[in-house]
Amino acid sequence: MDIKTKTLRLILGDQLNINHSWFTSVDINVTYVLMEIRSETDYAKHHIQKVVGIFAAMQSFAKELQQKNHDVIYIHLNDENNLHRFDENVVALIDKYKFNQFEYLLPDEYRVDEHLKTFAQKLDIPTKVFDTEHFYSTRTELGDLFAGKKTYLMETFYRHMRKKHKVLVDGESKPLHGKWNFDEDNRSKLPKAHKPVIPLVFSNDVNEIETEIKKANIKTIGKVDSKNFIWPINRKQSLELLDFFSTNCLQYFGTFQDAMAPNEWSVYHSRLSFSMNIKLISPKEVVDKAIEVYNKKSDQIAFHQLEGFVRQIIGWREYMRGIYWLKMPEYANLNYFQHVEKLPNWFWTGDTKMNCLKDAIHQSLDYAYAHHIQRLMVTGNFALLAGVHPDEVDAWYLGIYIDAFEWVEITNTRGMSQFADGGIVGTKPYVSSAAYMNKMSSYCSGCYYDKNKKTGDRACPFNSLYWNFYHKHEDKLGNNPRIGMMYNVWKKMNADVQKALLDQADHYLKHINEL
Ligand SMILES: Cc1cc2nc3c(=O)[nH]c(=O)nc-3n(C[C@H](O)[C@H](O)[C@H](O)COP(=O)(O)OP(=O)(O)OC[C@H]3O[C@@H](n4cnc5c(N)ncnc54)[C@H](O)[C@@H]3O)c2cc1C
Ligand code: SF4
């Protein structure tokens, strides 16, 4: 007699892709399981909005599956039988319901991937793993493209993606408007009287979820208004946010991509990373929508705005994932500069006199969000100049942002921001003095510190820390052709000036918690 196949399919909290082929038809012999477990809430100290947001999206996804008549088991955080590990919960379900097949989707995180791979190998029933059908590229595509090469230029990968997926290219695979990259048309500061669009936020009631998290005594950071949770928690809201972005923000996206201003937490950014990273919407949907809106309104939206946006998704996002799968697990231990310091205490409170950092950190605690240039040139820049250990920096970024999942967090943090990979992702460290901050923001005018002073009372800490960084790492950076000019400037400085800068930096580093 044939034994009927009874399959258990695991869906992780960042795999909420309703358009996945798993769900195209209902199979009465298939049961889906989603679980809220401590191994996931506790591997980093997360922002409360991140935990709440993922659980709310998982619950809503489970309901959607049930409404489509799929059989779903949902293990809540405080359920009595919750064993708080993927493997142990799955084994318990197999025993209880006599499943004779186990299936799961490729995890995005190395840690979970290893865990499920090992577990699946040990199971004494057949197991299968499926693609998440979310990304443009496969895990190994970047590695294959750069096979035998010493460098991994994002631009090369980006052009490959544009051609392969026929995005913004003509019939001969040439870039539309004659160039692949219009980055130099971007990067303006917000004009003084310019008020960016008011961000679209949602008002989800996630109070019950917050209560359960508190009951479980999960340690979190930041705050949440759980009666009015602002982030999209389902596909419908994610599509609404995409629509809002394409209609109201795309036309300024590139121009003000790097702009920062006090109390402007979103500027013209899409805030779609959370929806995309948990797969409520796909990168292709986002890119297609932006192109569709551009095509309808090309008299109002300049091409460089669109290209700048598409590059972030089809380029940077896929590139980071490719680097992650090529370089893990070694990547997680890279520390090119051998940095050892701790993050200043005020990274957890925003309680600093440095206006740019105060704003970026407060905003991160309030919204679980900061846009790219705040992450790179404010918090990341400071951490690098202060010589903070990349493990500390990673833990902070992995915890604080709602969109933080290791595959895209660590490559951005350890790679792009901290240069701890020695130049795999970036060609030079992203560091700056107050001059850059003043060029791209209005933070400096309201600051306790003086942007123009390099030494002495109230001198902006970025100024001396910047030169201290270059001086300290001359052995590693001195021959980098992209930095040569800075070393020329440093070498031309009078010895007294150099000493004063290094003394000032030393003083600040010794009193880092008081800055
Ligand atoms: C130190 C540091 C840490 C970061 N950590 C994360 C993280 O944990 N998760 C995350 O999704 N992004 C991370 N980023 C990349 C980027 O800052 C965020 O994707 C972006 O700020 C999300 O906001 P948004 O959706 O409004 O983006 P937009 O500015 O509207 O950009 C559109 C989309 O492009 C993609 N994108 C843009 N830049 C990048 C990039 N550098 N890498 C990958 N995708 C990109 C995102 O999916 C984003 O949603 C980090 C950047 C830095 C410098
Ligand atoms: S003066 Fe320095 S610390 Fe203050 S806002 Fe400008 S860059 Fe930041």
Other residues' Cβ atoms within 10 Å of the Cβ of residue 220: 19
What is the residue-wise DSSP string for 61-126?
A: HHHHHHHTT-EEEEE-TT-TT--SSHHHHHHHHHHHHT--EEEEEPPSSHHHHHHHHHHHHH-SS-
Task: Among 50, 154, 273, 311, name the best residue to mutate to test ligand 1's pocket (greatest count of ligand atoms within 8 A of Cβ).
Answer: 273
CA-proximal residue: ligand 2, atom 7 (nearest): 434
For 176, other C-beta atoms within 10 Å of its C-beta total 14
55 lines ligand 2 (CB under 6 A): no
The pLDDT value recorded for residue 4 is 87
Q: What mean pLDDT comes out for the span 466-473?
A: 97
299-303 contacts, C-beta under 8 A, 24 or more apart: 300/251, 301/250, 301/251, 302/185, 302/251, 302/254, 303/176, 303/177, 303/182
**Mean per-residue pLDDT, 384-412:** 98
Pick the ligand that lies closest to the CA of residue 450: 2
Q: What number is the average pLDDT over the span 260-266? A: 92
Give the DSSP H or E segment for 362.
helix 355-367
Distance CA 265, CA 326 (A): 33
Whether the per-residue pLDDT at 3 is higher than 90: the answer is no
Residues 66-79 as b or e (16 or more Cβ within 10 Å = b): eeeebbbebbebee
416-456 pLDDT, tens digit each = 999 999 999 999 999 999 999 999 999 999 899 999 999 99
Cβ of 238 closer than 6 Å to ligand 2, yes or no, is: no
Q: What is the pLDDT of residues 167-178, one digit of tens each?
A: 999 999 999 999
Residue holding tokens 């100024």? Answer: 463
d(CA 117, CA 171): 42
Residue 486, Cβ neighbours under 10 Å: how many? 17
Tokens found for residue 11: 């869906």
How close is the Cα of 380 to the center of ligand 2, in Å?
14
Whether 305 has a pLDDT exceeding 80, the answer reads yes
pLDDT confidence band for 107 (50 / 70 / 90): very high
Q: Report, as an integer, the average pLDDT of 335-354.
A: 97
Average pLDDT for residues 85-100, to the nearest whole number?
A: 97
> pTM of this prediction?
0.96
Cα 312 vs. chain centroid, distance in angstroms? 12
**What type of residue is 491?**
K
pLDDT digits (tens, 9 = 90+) for 177-233: 999 999 887 788 999 889 999 999 999 999 999 999 999 999 999 999 999 999 999
Q: How confident is the model at residue 118 (pLDDT cuts 50, 70, 90)?
A: very high
- List the one residue out of 388, 154, 373, 348 whose CA is nearest residue 258: 373
Q: Is the CB of 356 under 6 A from ligand 2?
A: yes
Give the integer Cα–Cα distance in Å for 441 and 258: 9
Q: Is the dihedral of CA 4, 29, 80, 124 positive or negative?
A: positive
Give the pLDDT of residue 184.
Answer: 80
pLDDT in tens, 121-136: 999 999 999 999 999 9
238 has a pLDDT exceeding 80: yes
Pairing of strands 71-75, 30-35: parallel
User: 354: Cβ below 6 Å to ligand 2?
Assistant: yes
Could you give the CA distance from residue 213 to residue 90 in angstroms, rounded to a whole number?
Answer: 22
Protein residue with its CA nearest to atom 3 in ligand 2? 354
Contact 105/132 with Cβ under 8 angstroms? yes
Supply the residue whose CA is at minimum distance from atom 2 of ligand 2. Answer: 460
Identify the pLDDT of residue 2.
Answer: 63
Q: Give the DSSP H/E element, type plus range, for residue 306.
A: helix 303-310
Residue 272, burial from CB neighbour count under 10 angstroms (0-12, 13-18, 19+): buried
> Residues lining ligand 1, CB < 6 A?
269-273, 276-277, 312-313, 316-317, 320, 371-372, 375-376, 380, 397, 401, 403-404, 408-409, 412-413, 416-417
pLDDT averaged over every residue in the chain: 96
Report pLDDT digits (tens) over 504-515.
999 999 999 999
- Give the residue whose CA is nearest to atom 15 of ligand 1: 372
Q: How far is CA 428 from the centre of its chain?
A: 20
pLDDT for position 348 = 97
| DSSP bridge partners of 33 | 10, 73
Average confidence (pLDDT) over 350-376:
97
pLDDT of residue 267: 95
Residue 1 has pLDDT above 60, yes or no: no
* Average pLDDT estimate for 366-373: 97
Check if 12 has its Cβ closer than 6 Å to any atom of ligand 2: no
| Per-residue model confidence (pLDDT) at position 388 | 98
369 CA to middle of ligand 1, Å? 10
E strand or H helix at 7: strand 7-10
